[in-house]
Chain A
Amino acid sequence: MRIATWTLAVLALAVLVLPPIVQLDQSLVDLRSAGQPPSFAHPFGTDEVGRDVLLRSVYGLRVSFLVGLVAALVSMVIGGAIGLAAGSLGGLPDRLLMRVVDGFNALPHLLFGIFIVALFAPSAAAVVVSVGVTHWTTAARIVRSEVLSLRTRPFVEAAVSGGAGRMRVVRRHLLPHLLPHLVLATVLMVPHAIWHETALSFLGLGLPPHLASLGNMINDGQRSLLTGDWWSSLVPGLFILAPTLAISVLAQRWRDRSSPRWRSELEL
């Protein structure tokens, strides 16, 4: 718990503060210092074209985190809307929407993501779309089940009985109760989305190769592995692992504390 907090704090500070202060071009190619092991000048060494691995990892984390966050938001918006619609409409629309959810769940995420990315040129938008489109189903299920339990609660029933229309019930009574759950689900989705971004980039299908994304760096670094340059892929790998683990740990802790009832629903 404390380790997670510190990890996140240090990384956040690095990501936010380092790029503006260190006026170094992280894409600067310096073939003279290519493939250097960790040293005082380059604490985590340099890659095969001489770029500083630490600096590039920090920039990479920045890119990956941003892409992960936007992708998580997209999947929550899609999932939230569909879950809300299914839960509050009920009946046939509910059954149809939930079949769609089942259908999407049956698709292998990574393969489907590759398929979507393949339709576009490698770009951040393509990655966001591919992760968003494959990951909204969890949010849809969570929101739907919560709406189903809320809508038979007496206070929602009293509003309906008092003449409140569908939109009003959703806006005034359902959304405010769903929001904390959605925020939490989004936060929990971010690490997952980062993993997908890096996986796609690693396969060469994600972000454009010149961008310092963590996936791209590991992809580049794996060639150096053969020559014994372990640092150029290990460091970006750790940069993926540390923040994603830290976010999961913190979010789950927070969730357990705020509502124990939710413990079972998100643990996948």
Chain B
Amino acid sequence: MLEASGITVRYGRQVALDDASLTIEPGVVTGLAGPSGCGKSTLARVLALMLRPRSGTLTVDGDPVLRWRQRAPRELRTRVALIYQQPRLAVDPRLTLADVIREPLTANGRPDDGRVAELAGEAGLTGDLLTRRPHEVSDGQLQRACVARALTLEPRYLICDEMTTMLDASTQAHLVRLVNAYRERTGAGVLAISHDTILLNRWADKTVDLFDPADQKQP
């Protein structure tokens, strides 16, 4: 379980997130809805250990998170992967798509063993595209690479922050399928963050609302 409780985040005097609690169970797609500016993306970064909250606790499979970002143990932070809304901002513009997908492997000193090709294939990226740089592919193709990258290290939890908002219906369906197949194969927990309630109704096993007090008190 990925459990966040009583998370509060402030930027200066501005409160971005006030006492939010959320649990992501393994093998389950949890949907998170809510209007923009309510702190969904902030919570996503906290859950991925990328933002240190002012107060509150986060545990990953029972291990409490005490340090954040690069100070967090590598093994702990690679257990949670984050997929961003805008793929253009989420990849280094100098890397080819293959490098983007391979990045987590090389960062952890692991061999490729055909994993990059396999993941790219699942994401629907064919050979030639993998040698391109981000500015030479469409948003949809880039987001496919981002999803493949997120799955490279087989994370236990996957945070999808408005993953398909910029994409057409067909690419959306493909990426959701990819994430679902991964979840079924590995039993990973998924948090699907979206403003699109129709999408969440279809994708998520259960949906929580950050503003609904009943959800806050979930055990």
Alpha-carbon separation in the docked complex, A176 to B149 (Å): 21
Main secondary structure on A side of the interface with B = helix
Known: A161-B78, A163-B74. A173 touches B69 (CB 8 A): no
Q: How far is the CB of B85 from chain A (nearest CB, A)?
A: 9
Q: A108 in the interface, Cβ–Cβ < 8 Å?
A: no
Q: A249 in the interface, Cβ–Cβ < 8 Å?
A: no
Q: How far is the CB of A166 from chain B (nearest CB, A)?
A: 5
Q: A159 in the interface, Cβ–Cβ < 8 Å?
A: yes
Contact of B50 among A155, A157, A169 (CB under 8 A): A157
Q: A24 in the interface, Cβ–Cβ < 8 Å?
A: no
Known: A154-B84, A169-B70. A162 touches B89 (CB 8 A): no
8 contacts between A and B (CB under 8 A): A155-B93, A158-B84, A161-B48, A162-B104, A163-B153, A164-B104, A166-B70, A168-B107
* Cβ contact within 8 Å between A155 and B70: no
- In the complex, per-residue mask of A136-170: 1 if CB is within 8 Å of any chain B CB, else 0: 00000000000000000111011111111110110
* Cβ contact within 8 Å between B107 and A162: yes
* Cβ contact within 8 Å between A163 and B70: no
Alpha-carbon separation in the docked complex, A154 to B84 (Å): 8
Q: Which residues in chain B, 102-133, are within 8 Å of chain A measured between CB atoms?
A: 103-104, 107-108
Q: Which residues in chain A, 159-196, are within 8 Å of chain B measured between CB atoms?
A: 159-166, 168-169, 172-173, 176
* Cβ contact within 8 Å between A155 and B90: yes
* Cβ contact within 8 Å between A173 and B50: no
Q: List chain A positions with a Cβ less than 8 A from chain B.
A: 153-155, 157-166, 168-169, 172-173, 176
> Which chain B residues border A154 with CB–CB below 8 Å?
84, 86, 89-90
- In the complex, per-residue mask of B69-97: 1 if CB is within 8 Å of any chain A CB, else 0: 11000100110111010100111111000
Extra contacts, 5 of them, besides A155-B93, A161-B48, A164-B103 (Cβ < 8 A), are A155-B90, A162-B78, A163-B74, A163-B77, A176-B94
Q: B4 in the interface, Cβ–Cβ < 8 Å?
A: no
Q: How far is the CB of A181 from chain B (nearest CB, A)?
A: 15
> Which chain B residues border A169 with CB–CB below 8 Å?
70
Q: B20 in the interface, Cβ–Cβ < 8 Å?
A: no
Alpha-carbon separation in the docked complex, A161 to B44 (Å): 12
Q: How far is the CB of B106 from chain A (nearest CB, A)?
A: 8
* Cβ contact within 8 Å between A160 and B149: no
Known: A165-B70, A165-B74, A166-B70. A159 touches B107 (CB 8 A): yes
- In the complex, per-residue mask of B38-73: 1 if CB is within 8 Å of any chain A CB, else 0: 000000010011100000000000000000011000
* Cβ contact within 8 Å between B78 and A155: no
* Cβ contact within 8 Å between B82 and A160: no
Q: B30 in the interface, Cβ–Cβ < 8 Å?
A: no
* Cβ contact within 8 Å between B89 and A160: no
> Which chain B residues border A160 with CB–CB below 8 Å?
50, 69-70, 77
